[in-house]
Structure 1
Amino acid sequence: MSDLALVTGATSGIGRAFAERLAADGYDLIITGRRRERLDEFVAAHPEVKVRPVVADLSTDAGIDEVAEICATEPLTMLVNNAGVAHYMPLADLPAEKAREIVKVKVLAPTMITRAAVPGMLERHQGTIVNVAGMIAFSGPAPSEVMPRRVVYGGTLAYLVTMSQTLSAELEGTGVRVQVVCPGVVATEFHERQGLDLSFLPRMSAPDVVTASLRGLELGEVVCAPGVEDPTLLDRVFAAELAAFGGQSTELATRYRTN
C-alpha cells in the first residue's frame, strides 16, 4: 500500500509545492482547499498517483470537522498543516471576522486536525506532522518602527512553533515525528491576496521551502528555518527561552518589590 499524505491549502504556494513533491515521491494524496477548480486541476495533472480532492474552508467549523474526520479515519503517513491567511493590519483596524478567520485557519484548524491524526499514527507507530508557520513567529520583540505589524498573524505562527515543539517532545520514541517549518518571504500568491506587491523583494521559492522541510526531517529538526544559514541562532533562542522558564521562582523578583 502506498504512503498517504494529507495537505491542507494545497491549491497554491507552499501547499501546492508539498503536494507536487509528495506525488513525485509516490505518495497517494488527500488535498484540501477552498477552490474546487484548482483541486481538480491538480488531480488531472497527477494520474500517476491517487489524489482525493476535498473542498473545505478551514475558517469554518464545518470545514475543520470534515478534514479532522478524514484524519481520524484514514491511515495517514504524513499530515501537512499548510492552509493560511494573513490580513496584515494593526489590531485596532482588524475586523472581527478577519481576526476570527486567522485564528481558525492557523490555530484551531491545525490543532483539531492534528489531534484527530495523532491517535492513528500512534497506533501504526509511524507518521509525520508538518506545520507551516513562518519566521514572523520570532518577530515579537521587534521595535515599533518595524512594519507592518501583524499582531494576530504573528501570534498564531508563534503558537504553531510552541505547539510543534511540545508535541514533538510528547511523541518522542513513538515513531511519530513533528516539525514546524518557518520560511521567510516566499514567492507565492499569499501576499498578492493581501494586496501586497512584494515582487521587488528577493524571495525564496515554494519548492525550496519543501526541500528544506524534508531534509530537515532527515536531520531531526523540529524547527526548520529554510533561510537561516546558522542553525545555532535558533539553538540560542530556544536555550534562552528554557533558561527563562527554568529561572522562575515562587518568590517575587527583587525589581517588583517596593521599599
Structure 2
Amino acid sequence: MPPLALVTGASSGIGRAFAERLARDGYDLIIVARRRERLEALAASLPATEVQVVAADLSTDEGIDTVAEVCAGRPLTMLVNNAGVAHYMALAELPAAKARELVHVKVVAPAMLTRAVLPGMLARGAGTIVNVAGMLAFSGPAPASQLPRAVYAGTLAHTVTMSQTLHSELAGTGVNVHVVCPGIVATEFHEVQGMDLSAIDRMSARDVVDGALAGIELGESVSTPGVEDRGLLENVFAAQLAAFAGQSPRLASRYRAS
C-alpha cells in the first residue's frame, strides 16, 4: 500500500508544491483547501496518484472538525499543516474577524489536526508531521516600523515552539515532527493581501518543499531553506535554552529597589 499524506492549503503555493512532490515520491494524497474547484484541478493534474479532495474552511470549528475526522480515520504517513492566511497588519488595525481567522488557521487547526492524527501514528510506530511556519517566527525584536504584523508573526513563533516541543515529546516513538521556516516565497499568498513583491528576489515553493524534506532526512526539527549558515539557528536555540536554564526563584537584581 502506498504511503498516504494529507496536505492542507493544497490549492496553491507551498501546499500545491508539497502535493506535487509527494505524488512524485509515490504517495497517495488527501488534499484540503477551501476552494473545491482548485483541488479538483490539482487532482486531475495527478492522474497516476490516488487523490481524495476535502473542501473545508480551517478558519471554522466545523472545518477543523471535518479534517480532524479524516486525520483520525485514515492511516496517514504524513500530515502537512500548511494552510495559511495573509493578514499582515498591526494589531490595532487588525479587524477582530481577521484576527480570529488567523489564529484558527495557523494555531487551532494545526494543533487539532495533529492531535487527531497522533494516536494512529503512535499505534503504527511511524509517521511524520510537517508544520509550515516562516522566518517571521524569529522577527520579534524587529522594529514595529519594519514588521507591523504582531499576530501573524506570533502564530509562526507558536508553530516553531510547538513543533520543537512535540518533536521532543515523541522522541523514540517513530513519529517525527518538523517545522519549515521559509522567507518570502513566490506564490499568490502576498497578492491576496494586495502586496506587490514581484521586484523582490523570492524562493520558489518547490525549493521550500525540497528544503523541508531534505531537512527531515538530515534530522532537523526546524529547517530554514533560505539560511545558509545553520549555526545561526543553533545559536538562537542555545540562547533560548540558556535563558530558560538561567532562571531563579529570586528576583533579579536589576528589578530590586536600590
Q: TM-score per shorter chain, which class? A: over 0.9
Q: How many residues align?
A: 258
**Alignment root-mean-square deviation, CA:** 0.6
What is residue 214 of structure 1 aligned with on the other side? 213
For residues 1-56 of structure 1, what are the alpha-carbon distances to aligned partners after superposition, in whole Å with 9 as ceiling and x for unaligned?
11000000000000000000000111000000011110110111112111000000
Q: Which amino acid aligns with 2:191?
A: E
What is residue 159 of structure 2 aligned with on the other side? 160
What is residue 40 of structure 2 aligned with on the other side? 40
What is residue 23 of structure 2 aligned with on the other side? 23
What is residue 236 of structure 2 aligned with on the other side? 237
What is residue 130 of structure 1 aligned with on the other side? 130
Matches within 5 A, 1:99-248: 99-147=99-147, 149-248=148-247
Q: Which amino acid aligns with 2:245?
A: G
- Give distance in 2, aligned partners of 1:204 and 1:188: 9
- Give distance in 2, aligned partners of 1:119 and 1:144: 41
Segments of 5+ residues of structure 1 without an aligned counterpart are none
- Give distance in 1, aligned partners of 2:212 and 2:79: 13
- Report the Cα offset of residue 143 of structure 1: 2.0
- Give distance in 2, aligned partners of 1:165 and 1:53: 30
1:93 aligns with 2:112: no
Moved over 4 A (4+): none
- Give distance in 2, aligned partners of 1:37 and 1:94: 30
- Give distance in 2, aligned partners of 1:145 and 1:46: 44
- Give distance in 1, aligned partners of 2:253 and 2:64: 47
What is residue 76 of structure 1 aligned with on the other side? 76
Q: Which amino acid aligns with 1:75?
A: P
Q: Report sequence identity in percent.
A: 70
Q: Which amino acid aligns with 1:8?
A: T
- TM-score, length-scaled by structure 2: 0.99
- Where 1:169 maps in the other structure, the secondary structure is helix
- Where 2:189 maps in the other structure, the secondary structure is coil
Moved more, 83-92 or 205-214: 83-92
Matches within 5 A, 1:6-21: 6-21=6-21
- Give distance in 2, aligned partners of 1:83 and 1:179: 15
- Give distance in 2, aligned partners of 1:42 and 1:146: 36
- Where 1:191 maps in the other structure, the secondary structure is helix
- Give distance in 1, aligned partners of 2:33 and 2:63: 10
Segments of 5+ residues of structure 2 without an aligned counterpart are none
For residues 116-141 of structure 1, what are the alpha-carbon distances to aligned partners after superposition, in whole Å with 9 as ceiling and x for unaligned?
01110000000000000000000000
Q: Which amino acid aligns with 1:76?
A: L
- TM-score, length-scaled by structure 1: 0.99
Moved more, 9-18 or 35-44: 35-44
